[in-house]
Amino acid sequence: MAPRILLIGGNPKHFHAAKAAGCEVVYVQNPDEFKPEYGPLVVGAILADYTDWPTFAPLVEAAHRAWGFSTVVSLTEPGLDPAGRVRDLLGLGGPSYEVSHRFTDKAVMRRCLAEAAHPDVPAIGAAVLEDRSSLTEFGERHGYPFIVKPGAGTASFGVHRVDSADQVDSVYAAISRDRDVSDHPFLGQYDLEEYVLEEYIDGTLYSAEAFSFGGNHRVLAITEAVTLPGTVVHAGHAVPARLSPEQVAAVERMIPAFLDVLGYPDGPSHTEFKFSPRGPVVIESQNRIGGALINEMVFAVHGVDMHELTMKWPHGSVSPIVAAPPASGAAASWLAVAEPGEIVEIAGVDGVSADPATLAIDLGGAAPGDVVRSLDGSWDGLGHVAVTAADTTAAIEFSQARVADIKVRTRPAQ
């Protein structure tokens, strides 16, 4: 009998990864996000708000009796903590809610790192925003600039940089506006009440794409991010990152130590970091695979499919990776954007898709009639185009060129 998993959230890409791994899927999704074409891909479904645990818990118990899944998987941010709760409830293997929450709550993660004081995982100054005076006090204690961001956010939404004491009032007002946003399509599953203040670490942002095999953590690839000037939006991602062997070695020491501190036993992780005089410093981490077509790029460059590992490892149908395969070539993705307004036309996708160097296109189903928002986070882009090239620099340049070939025409929204 094929192993059966409970997949919380996600999209058809995850269904296909599960099927390719020989798994059957019981799918959990919000009712308005379940599409008829998903039906043939699953053996059962729970259509409910899976972030509402009192409602979700009895449904999970009933689904477990009916369909007998043995593993819980979520590769979407809002589903990570519910997946941990389900494992705790049913006694299934994998990260518990407590462990998962160390990733999804940035204040909890900072406290864990500070308490551990691990020499390979430098801690930075951090605090929870209480009121306006918290901003002033943090700046006086840790200096400027510093970062303020939602404790449970993602995709750069609601992230603010405070460059001086003169900006405290404007940033505090911006946070109040963030909390009042009600029409953003992704905010219903994220809590913007708690904000975290963090020391600012200058420099390029990177991420380590890792997988944990029974507490043995393996860095599979290091991704380099490209941030749009004057924003915190990560428009580009490239594999492999342009780092020296010494820097790579430092990351390969830091990531296993970090995952040990958080008590992470099994599964994928995507850990963002920057280099400081103290070595690599964790910016934030997620116990899932990174977005922006990172998995596709890691597979193209290193030959490792993290989706396949995620589906197969819990059932013992794949062996642990002892060492990440070396890079062969490079890949990069770039964020497709458009002027705010209603989409009238999307042109050029077929031509970009036909290019042999195009690795993947994911525009999130954008179509005429959809509304493009102002670019406040990577959520507000249309999606990504990934390409391959001989080296990282060429891949970044080529990904920008291919995205530019996709023309999105908009008009003011009604």
373 Cβ contact list (under 8 Å, min separation 6):
184, 340, 380
Residue where a domain stops, chosen among 199, 226, 242: 199
Q: Determine the pLDDT at residue 192.
A: 66
219 is a domain residue = yes
Domain CATH for 184: 3.30.1490.20
Per-position DSSP letters for 65-126, written without gaps between them = HHH---EEE--SGGGHHHHHHHHHHHT-SS--HHHHHHHH-HHHHHHHHHHH--TTS----E
Angle (CA) 197-202-204 rounded to 5° is 115
Residue where a domain stops, chosen among 178, 199, 220: 199
Same domain as 268, residue 399: yes
Q: Determine the pLDDT at residue 10.
A: 85
115 is a domain residue = no
Same domain as 163, residue 255: no
Q: Determine the pLDDT at residue 11.
A: 81
Same domain as 287, residue 336: yes
Q: Determine the pLDDT at residue 250.
A: 97
The model's pLDDT over 172-230, given as tens digits with 9 standing for 90+, comes to 998 887 766 655 555 555 556 789 999 999 999 999 999 999 999 999 999 999 987 76
Q: Which of 281, 283, 300 is nearest to 357 (CA)?
A: 300
107 is a domain residue = no
pLDDT in tens, the chain (414 residues): 789 999 999 888 888 899 899 999 999 999 998 988 888 889 999 999 999 999 999 999 999 999 999 999 999 999 999 999 999 999 999 999 999 999 999 999 999 999 999 999 999 999 999 999 999 999 999 999 999 998 876 556 678 999 999 999 999 998 887 766 655 555 555 556 789 999 999 999 999 999 999 999 999 999 999 987 766 678 899 999 999 999 999 999 999 999 999 999 999 999 999 999 889 999 999 999 999 999 999 999 999 999 999 999 999 999 999 988 999 999 999 999 889 999 999 999 999 999 999 999 999 888 899 888 877 665 678 899 999 999 999 999 999 999 999 999 999 877
Same domain as 218, residue 136: no
117 is a domain residue = no
Q: Determine the pLDDT at residue 261.
A: 98
Q: Determine the pLDDT at residue 13.
A: 85
157 backbone dihedrals φ, ψ, rounded to 5°: -70, 135
Same domain as 319, residue 218: yes
Whole-angstrom Cα distance, residue 70 to residue 152? Answer: 28
Same domain as 335, residue 255: yes
Q: Determine the pLDDT at residue 155.
A: 53
Domain CATH for 288: 3.30.470.20
106 is a domain residue = no
Same domain as 315, residue 361: yes
Same domain as 129, residue 86: no
Same domain as 260, residue 176: no
Same domain as 145, residue 290: no
Which residue's entry shows tokens 């070939």? 405
Domain CATH for 27: 3.40.50.20
112 is a domain residue = no
Query: Is 136 in a helix, a strand, or coil?
Result: helix
CA distances from 368 to 126, 350, 407 (A): 43, 16, 12
Q: Determine the pLDDT at residue 186.
A: 52
Query: Is 159 in a helix, a strand, or coil?
Result: coil
* DSSP E strands, 126-185: 126-128, 146-150, 160-162
Residue where a domain stops, chosen among 143, 170, 199: 199
Domain count for the chain, please give it.
3
Taken in order 366, 371, 157, 99, the sign of the CA dihedral is negative
Whole-angstrom Cα distance, residue 159 to residue 153? Answer: 9
| E strand or H helix at 133 | helix 132-142
109 is a domain residue = no
**CB atoms closer than 10 angstroms to residue 141:** 12
280 is a domain residue = yes
246 backbone dihedrals φ, ψ, rounded to 5°: -65, -40
Same domain as 134, residue 195: yes
Same domain as 268, residue 194: no
Per-position DSSP letters for 247-316, written without gaps between them = HHHHHHHHHHHHHHHHT--SEEEEEEEEEETTEEEEEEEESS--TTTHHHHHHHHH---HHHHHHHGGGT
Question: Structural domain of residue 42, as residue ranges?
Answer: 4-93
